[in-house]
Amino acid sequence: MSEQSAVTVIGLGPMGRALARAFVDAGLRTTVWNRTPGRDGELVERGAIRAGSAEEAVAASDLTVVCVVNYDASDAILRRDAVAGALKGRTLVNLTADTPGRARDTAAWASDHGVRYLDGAIMTPVVTIGTPDAVFIHSGPKGLYQRHLPVLEALGGTHTHLGEDIGRAAAYDLAPLDVFWTAMAGYAHALALAKAEGITARELAPFAKGIGAILPPIFEELAEGVDGGNYSDGSNPITSAASSMAHVIQASERHGIDASVMRAAEGLARRVIGMGHGTDGFIRVTELLRPA
Protein backbone atom coordinates (compact mmCIF):
# COMPACT_ATOMS: atom_id res chain seq x y z
CA MET A 1 0.00 0.00 0.00
CA SER A 2 1.47 3.38 -0.97
CA GLU A 3 1.96 6.32 1.36
CA GLN A 4 -0.69 8.19 -0.62
CA SER A 5 -3.33 5.68 0.52
CA ALA A 6 -2.66 5.98 4.25
CA VAL A 7 -3.44 8.68 6.80
CA THR A 8 -3.45 9.10 10.58
CA VAL A 9 -6.01 11.16 12.48
CA ILE A 10 -5.13 12.49 15.92
CA GLY A 11 -8.08 13.80 17.94
CA LEU A 12 -11.47 12.11 17.92
CA GLY A 13 -13.90 14.76 19.04
CA PRO A 14 -16.96 15.24 16.82
CA MET A 15 -14.94 16.89 14.04
CA GLY A 16 -12.01 14.48 14.29
CA ARG A 17 -14.33 11.48 14.09
CA ALA A 18 -15.99 12.98 11.02
CA LEU A 19 -12.59 13.46 9.36
CA ALA A 20 -11.53 9.89 10.14
CA ARG A 21 -14.89 8.52 8.94
CA ALA A 22 -14.50 10.32 5.61
CA PHE A 23 -10.99 8.91 5.13
CA VAL A 24 -12.16 5.36 5.97
CA ASP A 25 -15.16 5.63 3.67
CA ALA A 26 -12.83 6.75 0.87
CA GLY A 27 -10.89 3.50 1.22
CA LEU A 28 -7.78 4.97 2.85
CA ARG A 29 -5.86 3.02 5.46
CA THR A 30 -6.77 5.22 8.43
CA THR A 31 -5.04 5.02 11.79
CA VAL A 32 -6.71 6.81 14.71
CA TRP A 33 -5.73 7.88 18.20
CA ASN A 34 -7.29 10.03 20.91
CA ARG A 35 -6.06 11.08 24.35
CA THR A 36 -9.34 9.94 25.93
CA PRO A 37 -9.93 6.24 25.16
CA GLY A 38 -13.24 4.91 23.89
CA ARG A 39 -14.03 7.33 21.07
CA ASP A 40 -12.78 5.14 18.26
CA GLY A 41 -15.20 2.20 18.54
CA GLU A 42 -17.44 3.09 15.60
CA LEU A 43 -14.42 4.01 13.48
CA VAL A 44 -12.68 0.70 14.15
CA GLU A 45 -15.89 -1.11 13.24
CA ARG A 46 -15.82 0.75 9.92
CA GLY A 47 -12.25 -0.30 9.27
CA ALA A 48 -10.00 2.22 11.01
CA ILE A 49 -6.88 0.99 12.80
CA ARG A 50 -6.62 1.75 16.52
CA ALA A 51 -3.17 2.94 17.60
CA GLY A 52 -1.97 2.24 21.11
CA SER A 53 -0.14 5.56 21.45
CA ALA A 54 0.31 8.86 19.67
CA GLU A 55 3.80 7.90 18.52
CA GLU A 56 2.50 4.62 17.13
CA ALA A 57 -0.26 6.52 15.34
CA VAL A 58 2.00 9.05 13.58
CA ALA A 59 4.49 6.35 12.65
CA ALA A 60 1.75 4.45 10.79
CA SER A 61 1.37 7.01 7.97
CA ASP A 62 3.37 9.55 6.02
CA LEU A 63 0.50 12.02 6.60
CA THR A 64 -0.98 12.87 10.00
CA VAL A 65 -4.01 15.12 10.39
CA VAL A 66 -4.55 16.55 13.85
CA CYS A 67 -7.81 18.17 14.96
CA VAL A 68 -8.17 18.95 18.65
CA VAL A 69 -9.63 21.79 20.69
CA ASN A 70 -6.69 24.23 20.42
CA TYR A 71 -2.93 24.39 20.02
CA ASP A 72 -2.34 23.88 23.72
CA ALA A 73 -3.90 20.45 23.24
CA SER A 74 -2.03 19.69 20.02
CA ASP A 75 1.28 20.83 21.54
CA ALA A 76 0.72 18.54 24.53
CA ILE A 77 0.43 15.61 22.14
CA LEU A 78 2.89 16.43 19.37
CA ARG A 79 5.77 18.02 21.24
CA ARG A 80 6.57 15.00 23.37
CA ASP A 81 9.97 13.64 22.35
CA ALA A 82 8.68 10.24 21.28
CA VAL A 83 5.96 11.72 19.07
CA ALA A 84 8.23 14.38 17.57
CA GLY A 85 10.77 11.68 16.79
CA ALA A 86 8.16 9.51 15.09
CA LEU A 87 6.97 12.49 13.04
CA LYS A 88 10.44 13.31 11.71
CA GLY A 89 10.46 13.16 7.92
CA ARG A 90 6.66 12.94 7.78
CA THR A 91 3.93 15.50 7.10
CA LEU A 92 1.66 17.03 9.71
CA VAL A 93 -1.52 18.85 8.68
CA ASN A 94 -2.93 20.76 11.63
CA LEU A 95 -6.66 21.47 11.28
CA THR A 96 -6.91 22.63 14.90
CA ALA A 97 -8.42 26.09 15.33
CA ASP A 98 -6.20 28.72 16.96
CA THR A 99 -4.40 31.96 16.11
CA PRO A 100 -2.02 32.78 13.23
CA GLY A 101 0.75 33.29 15.77
CA ARG A 102 0.34 29.79 17.15
CA ALA A 103 0.39 28.36 13.63
CA ARG A 104 3.69 30.12 12.91
CA ASP A 105 5.15 28.95 16.21
CA THR A 106 4.16 25.35 15.43
CA ALA A 107 5.65 25.62 11.96
CA ALA A 108 8.95 26.77 13.49
CA TRP A 109 8.87 23.85 15.94
CA ALA A 110 8.15 21.45 13.08
CA SER A 111 11.05 22.79 11.03
CA ASP A 112 13.40 22.41 13.99
CA HIS A 113 12.33 18.77 14.35
CA GLY A 114 12.41 17.78 10.69
CA VAL A 115 8.62 17.63 10.37
CA ARG A 116 6.93 18.82 7.17
CA TYR A 117 4.07 21.11 8.16
CA LEU A 118 0.84 22.49 6.71
CA ASP A 119 -1.70 24.51 8.63
CA GLY A 120 -5.39 24.58 7.83
CA ALA A 121 -8.90 25.29 8.98
CA ILE A 122 -12.34 23.78 8.54
CA MET A 123 -14.86 26.45 7.62
CA THR A 124 -18.05 24.36 7.77
CA PRO A 125 -19.87 22.24 10.39
CA VAL A 126 -19.26 18.59 11.23
CA VAL A 127 -22.22 17.40 9.15
CA THR A 128 -20.59 18.69 5.94
CA ILE A 129 -17.45 16.57 6.22
CA GLY A 130 -17.30 14.04 3.43
CA THR A 131 -19.89 15.94 1.40
CA PRO A 132 -19.59 18.52 -1.40
CA ASP A 133 -20.55 21.24 1.11
CA ALA A 134 -17.36 20.97 3.17
CA VAL A 135 -14.89 23.87 2.95
CA PHE A 136 -11.21 23.52 3.87
CA ILE A 137 -8.48 26.13 3.66
CA HIS A 138 -4.74 25.48 3.85
CA SER A 139 -1.51 27.45 4.08
CA GLY A 140 2.14 26.57 3.90
CA PRO A 141 4.50 25.18 1.24
CA LYS A 142 2.50 24.81 -1.98
CA GLY A 143 4.40 21.76 -3.19
CA LEU A 144 3.70 19.96 0.07
CA TYR A 145 0.03 20.88 -0.17
CA GLN A 146 -0.21 19.58 -3.73
CA ARG A 147 1.55 16.37 -2.76
CA HIS A 148 -1.05 15.51 -0.12
CA LEU A 149 -4.11 17.02 -1.79
CA PRO A 150 -5.27 13.67 -3.24
CA VAL A 151 -5.65 12.31 0.30
CA LEU A 152 -7.12 15.51 1.73
CA GLU A 153 -9.74 15.56 -1.02
CA ALA A 154 -11.24 12.43 0.54
CA LEU A 155 -12.69 14.83 3.11
CA GLY A 156 -15.00 16.19 0.42
CA GLY A 157 -15.92 19.73 -0.53
CA THR A 158 -13.44 22.36 -1.64
CA HIS A 159 -9.81 22.77 -0.64
CA THR A 160 -8.08 26.12 -1.16
CA HIS A 161 -4.39 26.87 -0.76
CA LEU A 162 -4.12 30.46 0.51
CA GLY A 163 -0.40 30.97 0.26
CA GLU A 164 2.98 30.09 1.71
CA ASP A 165 2.49 32.16 4.90
CA ILE A 166 1.68 29.41 7.38
CA GLY A 167 -0.55 31.69 9.48
CA ARG A 168 -2.82 32.67 6.62
CA ALA A 169 -5.37 29.86 7.04
CA ALA A 170 -5.84 30.70 10.72
CA ALA A 171 -6.31 34.37 9.85
CA TYR A 172 -8.95 33.51 7.25
CA ASP A 173 -10.64 31.31 9.85
CA LEU A 174 -10.63 33.87 12.66
CA ALA A 175 -11.94 36.86 10.72
CA PRO A 176 -15.29 35.25 9.76
CA LEU A 177 -15.60 33.87 13.29
CA ASP A 178 -15.24 37.47 14.48
CA VAL A 179 -18.25 38.32 12.32
CA PHE A 180 -20.19 35.28 13.52
CA TRP A 181 -19.71 35.65 17.26
CA THR A 182 -20.20 39.41 17.22
CA ALA A 183 -23.44 38.81 15.32
CA MET A 184 -24.49 36.09 17.77
CA ALA A 185 -23.84 38.45 20.69
CA GLY A 186 -26.00 41.05 18.95
CA TYR A 187 -28.77 38.53 18.31
CA ALA A 188 -28.75 37.35 21.93
CA HIS A 189 -29.00 40.97 23.07
CA ALA A 190 -31.80 41.65 20.58
CA LEU A 191 -33.78 38.68 21.89
CA ALA A 192 -33.36 39.91 25.47
CA LEU A 193 -34.58 43.38 24.49
CA ALA A 194 -37.50 41.95 22.51
CA LYS A 195 -38.54 39.70 25.40
CA ALA A 196 -38.49 42.66 27.77
CA GLU A 197 -40.95 44.35 25.41
CA GLY A 198 -43.22 41.30 25.27
CA ILE A 199 -42.01 40.02 21.89
CA THR A 200 -41.15 36.33 21.65
CA ALA A 201 -38.01 35.07 19.97
CA ARG A 202 -40.09 33.32 17.32
CA GLU A 203 -41.97 36.54 16.57
CA LEU A 204 -38.72 38.44 16.15
CA ALA A 205 -36.88 35.78 14.14
CA PRO A 206 -38.31 36.64 10.67
CA PHE A 207 -37.36 40.29 11.11
CA ALA A 208 -33.88 39.35 12.36
CA LYS A 209 -33.49 37.13 9.28
CA GLY A 210 -34.40 40.13 7.15
CA ILE A 211 -31.54 42.11 8.67
CA GLY A 212 -29.20 39.19 8.03
CA ALA A 213 -30.28 38.97 4.40
CA ILE A 214 -29.24 42.54 3.60
CA LEU A 215 -25.72 42.06 4.94
CA PRO A 216 -23.94 40.10 2.14
CA PRO A 217 -24.13 42.88 -0.50
CA ILE A 218 -23.24 45.43 2.17
CA PHE A 219 -20.16 43.37 3.07
CA GLU A 220 -19.06 43.33 -0.56
CA GLU A 221 -19.56 47.06 -1.00
CA LEU A 222 -17.80 47.96 2.21
CA ALA A 223 -14.87 45.67 1.42
CA GLU A 224 -14.24 47.59 -1.79
CA GLY A 225 -14.41 50.87 0.12
CA VAL A 226 -12.02 49.76 2.86
CA ASP A 227 -9.46 48.42 0.35
CA GLY A 228 -9.75 51.67 -1.60
CA GLY A 229 -9.70 53.93 1.47
CA ASN A 230 -13.20 55.26 0.75
CA TYR A 231 -15.40 55.38 3.86
CA SER A 232 -18.06 57.83 2.72
CA ASP A 233 -21.70 56.87 3.18
CA GLY A 234 -24.21 59.54 2.32
CA SER A 235 -27.21 57.29 2.97
CA ASN A 236 -26.20 56.20 6.47
CA PRO A 237 -23.49 58.40 8.02
CA ILE A 238 -21.93 57.36 11.28
CA THR A 239 -23.76 60.17 13.09
CA SER A 240 -27.02 58.40 12.24
CA ALA A 241 -25.57 55.04 13.29
CA ALA A 242 -24.51 56.44 16.67
CA SER A 243 -28.01 57.80 17.22
CA SER A 244 -29.65 54.43 16.57
CA MET A 245 -27.13 52.72 18.83
CA ALA A 246 -28.02 55.16 21.59
CA HIS A 247 -31.68 54.22 21.21
CA VAL A 248 -30.83 50.54 21.67
CA ILE A 249 -28.77 51.36 24.76
CA GLN A 250 -31.48 53.52 26.32
CA ALA A 251 -34.23 50.96 25.71
CA SER A 252 -32.07 48.11 27.01
CA GLU A 253 -30.93 49.81 30.18
CA ARG A 254 -34.47 50.93 30.94
CA HIS A 255 -35.24 47.22 31.32
CA GLY A 256 -32.03 46.54 33.24
CA ILE A 257 -30.45 44.75 30.29
CA ASP A 258 -26.65 44.90 30.02
CA ALA A 259 -25.86 47.05 26.97
CA SER A 260 -22.07 46.95 27.26
CA VAL A 261 -21.54 45.45 23.79
CA MET A 262 -23.60 48.18 22.13
CA ARG A 263 -21.99 50.82 24.33
CA ALA A 264 -18.61 49.68 23.05
CA ALA A 265 -19.79 50.00 19.45
CA GLU A 266 -21.31 53.41 20.11
CA GLY A 267 -18.10 54.50 21.78
CA LEU A 268 -16.15 53.68 18.65
CA ALA A 269 -18.65 55.59 16.52
CA ARG A 270 -18.45 58.65 18.79
CA ARG A 271 -14.65 58.60 18.59
CA VAL A 272 -14.79 58.58 14.79
CA ILE A 273 -17.23 61.50 14.87
CA GLY A 274 -14.96 63.34 17.27
CA MET A 275 -12.10 62.93 14.81
CA GLY A 276 -14.10 64.84 12.21
CA HIS A 277 -15.41 61.93 10.15
CA GLY A 278 -19.12 62.28 10.91
CA THR A 279 -20.11 62.09 7.25
CA ASP A 280 -18.37 58.75 6.76
CA GLY A 281 -20.04 55.41 7.32
CA PHE A 282 -19.58 53.19 10.36
CA ILE A 283 -16.91 51.16 8.57
CA ARG A 284 -14.50 54.09 9.17
CA VAL A 285 -14.10 52.37 12.57
CA THR A 286 -11.81 49.93 10.74
CA GLU A 287 -9.12 52.60 10.62
CA LEU A 288 -9.68 53.50 14.26
CA LEU A 289 -9.16 49.89 15.35
CA ARG A 290 -5.91 49.44 13.45
CA PRO A 291 -2.68 50.36 15.26
CA ALA A 292 -1.07 53.60 14.15
Q: Which of 119, 137, 165 is the last residue of a domain?
A: 165
Three-state SS at 28: coil
CA-wise closest residue to 284 among 223, 226, 244: 226
Does the pLDDT value for residue 2 go beyond 70? no
pLDDT tier, 3 (very low <50, low <70, confident <90, very high otherwise): low
Clarify whether residues 47 and 128 are in a common domain. Answer: yes
Average pLDDT value for residue range 249-266: 98
Clarify whether residues 210 and 135 are in a common domain. Answer: no
Clarify whether residues 139 and 199 are in a common domain. Answer: no
The model's pLDDT over 106-128, given as tens digits with 9 standing for 90+, comes to 999 999 999 999 999 999 999 99
Domain total in the chain: 2
Domain hosting residue 107, numbered range: 3-165
pLDDT tier, 150 (very low <50, low <70, confident <90, very high otherwise): very high
Does the pLDDT value for residue 1 go beyond 60? no
Clarify whether residues 105 and 191 are in a common domain. Answer: no
Mean pLDDT, all residues of the chain: 96
pLDDT tier, 234 (very low <50, low <70, confident <90, very high otherwise): confident
Clarify whether residues 160 and 48 are in a common domain. Answer: yes
The model's pLDDT over 162-215, given as tens digits with 9 standing for 90+, comes to 999 999 999 999 999 999 999 999 999 999 999 999 999 999 999 999 999 999
Distances 209 to 89, 124, 181, 215, 271 between C-alpha atoms, Å: 50, 20, 16, 10, 30
Clarify whether residues 105 and 189 are in a common domain. Answer: no
Clarify whether residues 211 and 256 are in a common domain. Answer: yes
- d(CA 157, CA 234) in angstroms, rounded, equals 41
Clarify whether residues 117 and 53 are in a common domain. Answer: yes
Clarify whether residues 181 and 85 are in a common domain. Answer: no
Q: Which of 140, 165, 190 is the last residue of a domain?
A: 165
Clarify whether residues 7 and 99 are in a common domain. Answer: yes
Clarify whether residues 211 and 125 are in a common domain. Answer: no
pLDDT for res 292: 74
User: Which strands form 29-33's sheet, in the order they lie side by side?
Assistant: 49-50, 29-33, 6-10, 63-66, 91-94, 116-122, 135-139, 158-161
CA angle 259, 261, 264 (to 5 degrees): 105
Clarify whether residues 145 and 203 are in a common domain. Answer: no
- d(CA 282, CA 233) in angstroms, rounded, equals 8
pLDDT for res 116: 98
CATH number of the CATH domain containing 213: 1.10.1040.10
Bridge partners for 139 per DSSP: 119
The half-sphere exposure of 169 on its side-chain side, counting CA atoms within 13 A, is 32
* Residues 28, 56 contacting (CB under 8 angstroms): no
- d(CA 267, CA 248) in angstroms, rounded, equals 13
Q: Which of 165, 189, 214 is the last residue of a domain?
A: 165
CATH number of the CATH domain containing 53: 3.40.50.720
The model's pLDDT over 32-91, given as tens digits with 9 standing for 90+, comes to 999 999 999 999 999 999 999 999 999 999 999 999 999 999 999 999 999 999 999 999
Percentage of residues in the chain having pLDDT higher than 70? 99
